[in-house]
Amino acid sequence: MAQPTLSRRSLLAALGAGTAVLPTFMGAQAQAADTSGYKALVCVFLFGGLDCHELLIPYDTPNHDIYTQLRGGAAPAQSRTRAALLNLNPRNAAQFGSREFALPPEMARTKALFDQGRASIVANVGPLIRPTTRSDYENRVADLPPRLFSHNDQQAVWQANAPEGARLGWGGLFADAALGSGANANSEAFSAISTNGDNLFLTGREAQAFSLGSGGGSSVQLFERASNRRDRNEEAEALYNRLRRHFTAQDFDGGGLIASDAANIMRASLENNEAIAAALEDPPALGVSFPSSNLGNQLALIAETIAVRARLGVGRQVFFAAMGGFDTHSGQAQTLPALLSQLDEAMAAFQGAMDYLGDSRDVTLFTASDFGRTFAINGDGTDHGWGSHQIVMGGDVDGGRIIGDPPPPGLDHAFDAGSGRLIPEISVDQYAAELGAWFGLSDSELNLAFPNLGNFPRLSGLVA
């Protein structure tokens, strides 16, 4: 499919992101972030809980036999035979002895990037407060993350280190650090951008997500229609001008802080929409055709936004994209391959666009999900788990590696919290901190963003 194009008037956002910038979230005395040059982080959140046991699959014969015997109706039989799998040859293969691993056939493009050293798998990562063993968990002496196995809560814990009701996401805190450093002084509104609506991940103390996409609320749609028709006649032009005066609060003369703030937010929202629409009026070619899937469209829009960053005047950006459908309690063998294929196609197209633009080393994409799933099946699907495997992709990724130690297939092993739910070995804090360090945050900023980081060793070998 041809690369989608976006007109300036079809790009509308409902959030105001133009408020004044306060000092960095670390405070004036903190060690400042290093924000020279341009860098962007792109989070692809997989809502529902990706079954990690179908992402990184045992390939050596003894472990593959265990996988085949126990997975039953949860695994697509024909595409999960050993001959059909995409065998990985990680650079750190010696770490795993005789154990071998593979990706499913739907992930051929990711496999190619892995082989090229531009993608890695992070094994068994999930929310932790401190390192936790099976004995700790079973004897109830572990300091556990709140409300394990709950979709809403674990989405929040992944994004903000706290359950549902949390207020600050670590992507937003990363954007706060960039704002405090002055990296985005000329364009504060576009530090944190979502192509999947409102989300906790991008909410900072100062940074707020700019929601980028087509359409919007009824009032926004009214303004869009007037804008599209303004050149037809004088009456249409007059209507457009009246609406623009209204949305930019030019005639506002009320008092009080709340009313003034509302007027300022409305004005900033419209002006920011017009600014980014103008920047994207004629975006540079991306050199690839993105798939027409929802995630493909989101990543295409993010790629275009990165391509016009000089027009926006930004030096650091954090993006949030997402796809759903991974809550595979039933029919997993029929639905999961198509989801993995969509993920693979969209991520590979995005990486191809970054290569074409010459921005590969400036942009790192990573996945996240509510949780993994049980290794045990419930008939034709799997249930909520804990630890999971994630993908990191980009030119600065120390790729071609499996980071961490994937637990063995089956049940009743050292990382089994019951039914094959994986007790994480790598914490979200460790995973996110390495991304933050690459993004330019100082150690003090990372420790503030991740209060439990000091309970773990730093994770090495993720990004250069």
Residue that wins the pLDDT comparison between 269 and 121:
121
CA gap 41, 319 in Å, rounded? 6
DSSP conformational letter for 441? -
Return d(Cα 372, Cα 385) in angstroms, integer. Answer: 5
Query: Is the per-residue pLDDT at 305 higher than 80?
Result: yes
Contact (Cβ atoms closer than 8 angstroms) between residue 380 and residue 119:
no
Closest residue by Cα to residue 80 from 120, 107, 117: 107
Average pLDDT, the chain: 86
Rounded CA separation 138/133 (Å): 9
Q: Is the pLDDT of residue 316 over 80?
A: yes
- What residues does 392 pair with on adjacent strands? 120, 366
- Look-up of token digits 């209204």: 246
| SS3 per residue for 77-123 | CHHHCHHHCEECCCCCHHHHCCCCEEECHHHHHHHHHHHCCCEEEEE
Bridge partners of residue 337, in order along the sequence: none
Distance, first Cα to last Cα, the chain = 34
Residue range 117-139: mean pLDDT, rounded: 97
Instruction: Write the pLDDT tens digit of every residue in 194-209.
Output: 999 889 999 999 998 8
Q: What is the pLDDT of residues 123-132, one digit of tens each?
A: 999 999 999 9
pLDDT band at 267 (very low <50, low <70, confident <90, very high): low
* Higher local confidence (pLDDT), 164 or 98: 98
Rg (CA), the chain: 23
Q: Which of 40-54, 119-133, 239-253, 369-383 has the lowest mean pLDDT?
A: 239-253
Average pLDDT (376-402) is 97
Mean pLDDT of 341-368: 98
pLDDT band at 216, cuts 50/70/90?
A: very low
Beta-carbon contacts of residue 65 (< 8 Å; ≥ 6 apart): none
- How are strands ordered across the β-sheet holding 86-87? 57-58, 101-103, 86-87
> What is the C-alpha separation between 336 and 243, in angstroms, rounded?
46
Segment 302-328 mean pLDDT: 96
> Using one digit for the tens of pLDDT, what is the confidence trace for 273-285?
778 878 888 889 9
Pick the CATH number of 8-24+31-215+285-455 from 1.10.10, 3.40.50, 1.10.3470, 3.40.720: 3.40.720
Sequence ranges of the domains in the chain: 8-24+31-215+285-455
Describe the chain by its helix, strand, coil percentages, rounded to 5.
Answer: 40, 15, 45
Average pLDDT over residues 222-251: 67
Report residue 197 CA to chain centroid gap.
13
Considering only CA atoms, which of 362, 436, 464 is closest in space to residue 178? 436
Phi, psi dihedrals of residue 386, rounded to the nearest 5°: -140, -90
